[in-house]
């Protein structure tokens, strides 16, 4: 019976993520087919900015919520209160600096999404998680296309912000069920703070490349690079599904070695398919994005590397060793920043692809060595 519920939970996460991601990918791929690479790059430039600011604003990370709720701590309202107050302040700041109301609203959407998803996964409400993810991604598609045809590409960020409105239901419900109690956070502050620093580092790692590329190489090249990242995110779907499933399990000391090995084998197959077929598909569907062909084969290698990484990160976070994950994220940010500047300026978009793969590789090397030397608990 236990195995049945495990399979059911994994299936619920998988269904939500597969359908949700497929819906989102349809939107982003269609958008890439109808707008110019420079416009696509501009959208992702501001997505990068919002991603970094949201990482700074969210002191309570999604992983902290998942792990601590999995351990039966009544912390939702406290986390929500802190995050929403700080989030509103950062949203106002974003508006003042960039004069972009759409980016400010999207920041609040990101925060609501992070809090709600963390609560659902921490409580193992896998079925509800799947439904909300599908709802949000469906709204991304419907609102995104509606706003695009009504206002042009300038309306896309507004549509994305509105797509997160459904998660407010979860926030309101959990506010009623738990009390604001800051004292409950005190014993876990080191874990929470390390996760926050890791999130900030990861936020810079995922958004800083876009902020670097735009002024150095232009929005058009950023548009090509961003489309390649969208394709890689599709290839990472199985890995991210499993991460969301196993993190609560690792937090409770439950592991599944066979599942981990199977995932690595699947990622190798997906990476191989990307190397072989991705350039042909880009020629067929995205003729404007000619430079994506030059980098997608290189970046496909990162699918295997990132898959192994998420397994290590889940293990470390489950053991509340978030400092290890933090240091690994810092290594990735420093590596990708230096690589983007040096290799990007030297080799153009191909240099960006090599910088991406090198950065995640160095992060993995650190995690493997740290696990062997300092961490006693195994994957078995």
Average pLDDT in the chain: 86
For the chain, the C-alpha Rg in angstroms (whole number) is 20
Q: What is the pLDDT of residues 61-75, one digit of tens each?
A: 788 888 888 777 777
The stretches of the chain forming alpha helices (DSSP H) are 2-34, 37-57, 62-70, 76-98, 101-122, 126-151, 156-162, 168-177, 189-217, 219-235, 237-251, 257-285, 292-300, 302-318, 322-347, 349-373
121-130, 255-264, 336-345 — which is least confidently predicted?
Answer: 255-264
pLDDT at position 254 is 67
For residue 380, what pLDDT band results from cuts at 50, 70 and 90?
very low
- Phi/psi of residue 123, nearest 5 degrees: -90, 0
pLDDT at position 46 is 94
The encoded tokens of residue 150 equal 């009504």
pLDDT at position 198 is 78
Q: What is the pLDDT of residues 19-46, one digit of tens each?
A: 888 898 889 989 998 999 999 999 999 9
pLDDT over threshold 90, residue 325? no
pLDDT at position 304 is 93
Share above pLDDT 70 across residues of the chain, in percent, rounded to a whole number: 94
Q: What is the pLDDT of residues 220-261, one digit of tens each?
A: 999 999 999 989 988 998 888 878 777 777 777 667 677 778
pLDDT at position 88 is 93
pLDDT at position 7 is 62
Whole-angstrom distance, CA of residue 48 vs CA of residue 208: 7
Supply the angle between the helices 257-285 and 292-300 in degrees, to the nearest 10.
170
pTM for this structure?
Answer: 0.79
pLDDT at position 303 is 93
Q: What is the pLDDT of residues 84-97, one digit of tens each?
A: 899 999 999 999 99
Q: What Cα–Cα distance (Å) separates residue 324 from each residue in 301, 315, 355, 361, 363?
A: 24, 11, 22, 16, 11
Overall average pLDDT of the 299-323 stretch? 87
61 Rama class: left (phi>0) / alpha (psi -120 to 50) / beta: beta
Overall average pLDDT of the 2-9 stretch? 57
pLDDT at position 53 is 93
Whole-angstrom distance, CA of residue 95 vs CA of residue 92: 5
Query: Whose CA is closest to 2, among 253, 254, 251, 238?
Result: 254
């Amino acid at each position: 019976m236990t195995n049945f519920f495990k399979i059911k939970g994994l299936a619920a996460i998988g269904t939500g993520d597969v359908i949700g991601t497929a819906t989102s990918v349809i939107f982003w791929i269609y958008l890439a087919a109808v707008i110019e690479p420079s416009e696509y790059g501009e959208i992702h430039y501001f997505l990068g900015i919002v991603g970094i600011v949201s990482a700074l604003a969210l002191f309570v990370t999604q992983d902290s919520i998942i792990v601590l709720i999995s351990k039966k701590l009544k912390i939702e309202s406290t986390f929500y209160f802190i995050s929403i107050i700080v989030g509103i302040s950062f949203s106002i700041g974003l508006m003042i600096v960039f004069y972009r109301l759409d980016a400010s609203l999207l920041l609040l959407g990101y925060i609501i999404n992070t809090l709600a998803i963390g609560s659902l996964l921490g409580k193992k409400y896998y079925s509800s998680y799947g439904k909300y993810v599908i709802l949000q991604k469906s709204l991304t598609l419907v609102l995104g296309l509606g706003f695009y045809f009504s206002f042009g590409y300038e309306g896309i960020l507004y549509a994305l912000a509105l797509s997160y409105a459904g998660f407010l239901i979860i926030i309101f419900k959990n506010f009623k069920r738990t009390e604001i109690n800051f004292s409950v956070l005190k014993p876990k502050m080191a874990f929470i703070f390390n996760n926050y620093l890791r999130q900030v580092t990861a936020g810079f790692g995922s958004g800083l490349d876009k902020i670097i590329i735009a002024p150095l190489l232009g929005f058009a090249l950023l548009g090509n690079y961003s489309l390649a990242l969208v394709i890689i995110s599709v290839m990472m779907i199985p890995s991210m599904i499993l991460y969301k499933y196993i993190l609560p399990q690792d937090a409770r000391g439950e592991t599944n070695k066979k599942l981990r090995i199977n995932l690595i084998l699947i990622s190798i197959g997906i990476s191989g398919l990307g190397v072989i077929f991705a350039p042909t598909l880009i020629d067929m569907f995205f003729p404007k994005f000619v430079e994506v062909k030059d980098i997608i084969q290189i970046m496909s290698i990162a699918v295997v590397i990132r898959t192994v990484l998420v397994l290590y990160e889940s293990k470390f976070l489950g053991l509340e060793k978030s400092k290890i994950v933090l240091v690994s994220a810092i290594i990735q940010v420093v590596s990708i920043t230096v690589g983007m500047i040096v290799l990007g300026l030297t080799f153009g978009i191909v240099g960006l692809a090599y910088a991406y793969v090198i950065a995640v590789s160095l992060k993995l090397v650190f995690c493997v060595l740290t696990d062997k030397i300092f961490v006693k608990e195994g994957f078995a």
